[in-house]
């Protein structure tokens, strides 16, 4: 899955860029809105897989061919050097010590997401894949790299850690909508088969010299930990009759939680453990107002902070003509975003466009 995401990113990117980019035909429209859109009703695409009730209120055969990537501390051209030979743990675990010599002067991050869906009436099928990797050099290593990375003078306390998490979901959704006396209510559920893979490797002074790495203690000598599971998401969507253009939504991701979690250790020099739960239950809610060419949306994600994704997202969209729209948005954990839609193709850009898997492993 990681190679699929990385290969798609390489073909989709038009140039190396320091900002995060999101390409697609559907859900990337929401990225330009700051990630908001749980309650947006539209035939122009949207993150329906995050709210399965949407299958009951709009009909769109092909949805969300979307690619998203994020980098930090490296340019797009450096991705292949650090992550291009990645196995199941996103970063290049076998050569972490070698990479420390060239990229150990600061933290590096790569995140990617690939999504695709298809809908038949009120039934939908989708695939979602995410990968997040990061390298964390300590202060001693960073200074050594800045001073020229002399292999004959590696500090004894120099070290670097690499963490990675990848997830994959295959979902089947069904929804139903009906009119009540006060408005239209839709509700839906998404059953999904999921897989997650976690990895942690580190390199100290000796392995930096040799160019290799060692698995983190939680891996028990393995190169990575992987598990499969089954879960169910649920959502509702409501349009009141007395306020034209207003809609509301509530989504419970992992109402039935996949029984997948990993016990992770901390970077070298820190003591303790943490639990990596890639499919924790979370409750989110959103509201939207659509009138003519204007759309406004606001969401509160992970309201109770149970999945580590808690934030507020808001955005607006204006269709300046039939096939051209502009989006702007803000999310409290990632800052501002902007996007453009043209003839069904969407592209968004922001200082940060983190994927959900990235939230699970960040410190």
Residue burial 311-345, b: 16+ Cβ < 10 Å; e: rest: bebbbbbeeeeeeebebbbbbeebeebbbbbeeeb
pLDDT on residue 265: 87
pLDDT at 213: 86
How many H helices and E strands in the chain?
7, 17
Closest residue by Cα to residue 201 from 71, 72, 277, 87: 87
Q: 213 near 94, Cβ under 8 Å?
A: yes
Quote the CA–CA distance of 259 and 227 in Å, as a whole number. 9
| Cβ–Cβ under 8 Å, residues 268 and 22 | no
pLDDT under 50 in the chain at which residues?
1-27, 43-46, 86-88
- Quote the pLDDT of residue 211: 83
Q: Which residues of 63-80 are buried (b: 16+ CB within 10 A; e: fewer)?
A: bbbbbbbbbbbbebebbe
Q: What's residue 2's pLDDT?
A: 39
287, 251 contact by CB (below 8 A): no
C-alpha span between 186 and 177 (Å, rounded): 4
**Of 198, 203, 195, 194, nearest in space to 223 by CA:** 198
- pLDDT on residue 6: 34
At residue 145, the pLDDT reads 94
What is the end-to-end Cα distance of the chain in Å, rounded?
A: 24
Cα–Cα distance for residue pair 115/304, rounded to 1 Å:
26
CB 249 within 8 A of CB 286: yes
User: What span, in angstroms and rounded, lies between the C-alpha atoms of 30 and 68?
Assistant: 12
The H or E element containing residue 98 is helix 96-103
User: What backbone torsions phi and psi does residue 210 show, to the nearest 5 degrees?
Assistant: -85, -20
Q: What is the pLDDT of residues 46-76, one digit of tens each?
A: 455 578 998 888 766 556 567 777 778 777 6
Structure tokens at 253: 């991701």
pLDDT for residue 90 = 62
Handedness of CA 323, 119, 52, 132 (dihedral sign): negative
């Amino acid at each position: 899955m990681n190679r699929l995401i990385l290969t798609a990113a390489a073909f989709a990117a038009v140039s190396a860029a320091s900002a995060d980019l999101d390409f697609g035909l559907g859900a990337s429209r929401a990225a330009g809105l700051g990630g908001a859109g749980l309650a947006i009703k539209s035939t122009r695409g949207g993150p329906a897989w995050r709210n399965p009730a949407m299958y009951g209120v709009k009909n769109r055969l092909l949805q969300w061919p979307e690619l998203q990537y994020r980098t930090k501390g490296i340019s797009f051209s450096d991705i292949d050097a650090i992550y291009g030979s990645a196995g199941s743990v996103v970063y290049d675990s076998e050569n972490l010590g070698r990479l420390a010599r060239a990229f150990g002067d600061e933290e590096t991050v790569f995140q990617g997401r690939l999504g695709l869906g298809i809908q038949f009436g009120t039934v939908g099928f989708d695939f979602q894949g995410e990968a997040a990797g990061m390298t964390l050099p300590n202060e001693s290593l960073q200074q050594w790299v800045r001073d020229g990375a002399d292999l004959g003078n590696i500090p004894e306390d120099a070290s670097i850690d690499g963490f990675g998490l990848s997830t994959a979901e295959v979902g089947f959704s069904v929804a139903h909508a009906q009119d009540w006396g006060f408005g239209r209510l839709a509700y839906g559920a998404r059953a999904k088969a999921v897989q997650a893979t976690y990895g942690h490797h580190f390199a100290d002074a000796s392995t930096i010299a040799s160019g290799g790495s060692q698995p983190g203690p939680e891996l028990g000598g393995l190169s990575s930990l992987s598990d499969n599971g089954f879960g169910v998401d649920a959502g509702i969507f409501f349009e009141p009759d007395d306020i034209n253009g207003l809609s509301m939504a509530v989504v419970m991701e992992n109402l039935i939680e996949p029984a997948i979690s990993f016990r992770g250790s901390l970077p070298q020099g820190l003591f303790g453990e943490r639990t990596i739960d890639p499919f924790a239950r979370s409750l989110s809610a959103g509201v939207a107002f659509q009138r003519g060419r204007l759309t406004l949306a606001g969401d509160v994600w992970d309201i109770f902070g149970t999945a580590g994704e808690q934030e507020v997202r808001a955005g607006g969209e204006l269709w300046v003509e039939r096939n051209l729209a502009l989006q702007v948005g803000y999310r409290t954990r990632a800052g501002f975003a902007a996007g453009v839609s043209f003839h069904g193709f969407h592209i968004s850009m922001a200082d940060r466009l983190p994927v959900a898997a990235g939230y699970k492993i960040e410190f």
